[in-house]
């Protein structure tokens, strides 16, 4: 069953600057990734510092047999815990990548984030987008990546934790109908 959003997108009633196409009567495939299955400890890097920032892949979903003109609708969310005594800047984005561990690729969203304070302790990072597939590929990945930065880091032991099993990525992959 197709959601109201999917029906509106397919009917051309919803527009996005990243999505110029409309698809009539699409085939829609739903993908859902949960995780991460184990905690990810992200090192907090000072600015400016050699090697900063360090990006981490929080969630990813592989998509097979994508074609130019397909439309990808994605929403990703993760929970991060700050047990440190200072504010930590979190910056995340969605990327269209060629391999599972890759943190570079086509920007699906610009980086966006906020400061996770010690008083907040737990923070949610989330983003969504509608994206036109730029080229045919047998296999690509939608990656939700993030980095942690700050000006008070005391070294590589300063880390924030991406909590296991509190995140997910949901993707709807719209393909044009076959004639």
DSSP 135-174: S-EEEEEEEEEEEEEES---STT-EEEE-TTSEEEEEEEE
- Between CA 164 and CA 148 the distance in angstroms is 17
Reported as half-sphere exposure (CB side, CA atoms, 13 A), residue 59 has a value of 31
What pLDDT shows up at residue 23?
62
Residues linked to residue 52 through DSSP beta bridges, in sequence order? none
What pLDDT shows up at residue 53?
83
In CATH terms, the superfamily for domain 27-175 is icosahedral virus (2.60.120.660)
Q: Which of 117, 151, 147, 160 is closest to 49 using CA atoms?
A: 151
What pLDDT shows up at residue 87?
94
Residue 57 CB neighbour total at 10 angstroms: 18
Q: Is the distance from CB of 94 to CB of 76 less than 8 angstroms? A: yes
Below-50 pLDDT ranges, the chain: 1-18
Q: Is the distance from CB of 137 to CB of 118 less than 8 angstroms? A: no
pTM, whole model, 2 decimals?
Answer: 0.83
What pLDDT shows up at residue 2?
44
Task: From residue 125, give the alpha-carbon distance in Å to each of 96, 146, 152.
Answer: 18, 9, 21
What pLDDT shows up at residue 45?
87
Q: What token pair was written down for 63? A: 């998509």
What pLDDT shows up at residue 7?
47
What pLDDT shows up at residue 9?
47
């Amino acid at each position: 069953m197709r959601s109201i959003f999917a029906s509106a997108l397919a009917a051309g009633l919803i527009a996005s600057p990243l999505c110029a196409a409309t698809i009539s009567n699409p085939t829609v495939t739903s993908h859902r990734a949960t995780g991460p299955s184990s905690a990810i400890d992200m090192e907090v890097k000072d600015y400016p510092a050699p090697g900063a920032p360090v990006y981490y892949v929080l969630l990813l979903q592989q998509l097979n047999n994508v074609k130019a003109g397909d439309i990808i609708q994605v929403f990703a969310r993760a929970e991060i815990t700050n047990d440190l005594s200072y504010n930590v800047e979190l910056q995340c984005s969605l990327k269209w990548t060629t391999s599972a561990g890759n943190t570079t690729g086509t920007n699906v969203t610009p980086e966006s984030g906020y400061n996770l304070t010690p008083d907040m302790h737990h923070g949610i990072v989330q983003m969504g987008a509608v994206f036109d597939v730029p080229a045919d590929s047998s296999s690509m990945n939608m990656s939700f990546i993030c980095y942690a930065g700050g000006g008070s880091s005391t070294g590589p032991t300063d880390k924030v934790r991406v909590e296991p099993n509190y995140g997910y990525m949901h993707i709807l992959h719209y393909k044009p109908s076959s004639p």
